[in-house]
Amino acid sequence: MALFKRALARAFSRTEKVFEFAFGQRNNPFVNLGALGWYFYWIVAISGVYLYIFFDTGVTDAYASVEYITHDQWYAAGLMRSLHRYASDALVVVVVVHIFREFAHDRLRGRRFFAWLTGVPLLAFIYICGISGYWLVWDKLAQYIAIATTEWLDTLPMFGEPIANNFLNSTALGGRFFTLMVFIHIFGPLFMLLLMWVHIQRHSGARVNPPKELAIGTMAMLVALSFAYPAVSQGPADLDVVPTDIGFDWFYLAAYPLLDVVPGGQLWLYIIGSLVLLALLPWLPPAKPVQPALVDLDNCNGCTRCFDDCPFGAISMVPRTDGRAYDTEPLVNPANCTSCGICAGACPTSTPFRRAVPIQPGIELPDRTIGALRGELMVAQDADGDEPLVLVFGCDTSNVDELQGADTRVIKLPCVGMLPPSFVDFALSRRFAHGVMIAGCAEGDCFHRLGNEWTIARMAGDRDPYLRKRVDSRRLLLDWLPRDAGRRRRKALEAFRRALAGICDE
């Protein structure tokens, strides 16, 4: 399993470099897969509502209404039909790639299992909604899908009478059955939206919208594709004639050719077994246990910064329990805490300048304390050598160990969001370094979701706790790169060191 993950991660890394070159790091589609999934869902939903205005739900009139949509109103409803079709296909692609990418980067195990587990039924609902939509066109492809699906469903021991009997001939199919399919196609996406909301419940500040540039470009691409290759029907369905030549949509219908070689009941076992295995992946093998953040009420004034910054909703504010003159205190839910340390970086008492008493923040990780972090910083050599000394703070998922050298000191954290801005001030003002480099994950792709974002805002003075204005911004480098971008990170470090040399000579 580990070998497969590493191979998959390398494949993603190489592919993403190409897309980063074309789109830039912020607009790289691979780091916006979840947001793109939401975006395509809303395109499908809005275009579907528009199409329903012109759609006739009767068995005999459905095909004619779709033909009117496609040809008579090609500039509006026809465009919407094509957008509906291509956004649906794109939704399948981004969701499947999103699943593989999250697996490759190991973002599914331990206390992060919830999003993965709730994503499995979402995948099933995408296919239910998509396949039921093909029925409504009621062309030759819909006829094939209807017959194949009902015969496949009949292999399950749950129906009193074979539902495939509804498609024996043109007189057997009733209007009520077709109305039921319309209901399924409308209800399915609504229930899917509920599952999507549940899917992100443990993600504070979840991104459900892609960057504006990427959204505009994606829509332009879909519109251009819709005009160049509009979605069309494949001739009216006729249950008295077996369709022999049909176009196929492999995005949604990849399992159907297997019905010709695999018994339906056996194929159900394969699919259900695959979904069960997919759901169990977070525990194959289980993640190593991590200690959740601990609260020290003696040093907490209930400021809510840890609550605001927690990326996984692991902290809630509750009424004060120690009798002190503050309204609230943070309460950590161990089931949600991933031990990223971002809460410690947000705490105003996480400052290395306190020397009279030991550092004891209001909240921190028991096995990676702020006091120990200051101790590591203070054993660094003084910045009095011939070459500028750089202190590098890097996250555990970034390959920053290779930067360690005679003039480079590396300190690793669970996430760079754990670093209080005062530590940068402390390192520079007390001459433990000429410059500080913060090396995190790729922009928009933080392993702990919000570590990069909060660090950027804190260092820019846009979010508490913020970096003091007295700190020379030229002595601070924020470096956001993928974990395998070692050469680019070394080049950035050397360029930073040369800039520091010029500053030191001033």
Say whether pLDDT at 238 is over 80: yes
pLDDT value for 356: 64
Q: Report the percentage of the chain scoring pLDDT > 70.
A: 97
What is the per-residue pLDDT across 33-89, written as a single tens digit (0 to 9) for each?
999 999 999 999 999 999 999 998 877 788 999 999 999 999 999 999 999 999 999
The separation between CA 209 and the C-alpha centre of its own chain, rounded to angstroms, equals: 11
The tens digit of pLDDT for each residue in 139-159 reads 999 999 988 998 999 998 887
Q: Which residues contact 394 (CB under 8 A, 6 or more apart)?
A: 400, 403, 410, 411, 412, 413, 416, 438, 439, 440
More confident residue, 385 or 99: 99
Q: Which residues contact 398 (CB under 8 A, 6 or more apart)?
A: 439, 440, 441, 481, 483, 489
pLDDT tens digits for range 270-290: 999 999 999 999 999 888 889
Instruction: Write down the pLDDT at residue 383.
Output: 54
Q: What is the pTM of this model?
A: 0.92
Q: For residue range 350-375, what is the model confidence (pLDDT) as tens digits?
A: 999 877 678 889 999 999 999 999 99
pLDDT digits (tens, 9 = 90+) for 296-315: 999 999 999 999 999 999 99
The answer to whether residues 264 and 151 touch, using CB atoms and an 8 Å cutoff, is: yes
Question: By CB neighbour count within 10 A (0-12 exposed, 13-18 middle, 19+ buried), where does 215 fall?
Answer: middle
User: What's the pLDDT at 208?
Assistant: 93
For the stretch 388-397, pLDDT in tens is 899 999 999 8
Average pLDDT, the chain: 91
Report how far apart, in Å, the C-alpha atoms of 415 and of each of 297, 345, 365, 452 are: 24, 10, 12, 8
Residues 462-501 pLDDT 10s: 999 999 999 999 999 999 998 888 999 999 999 999 999 9
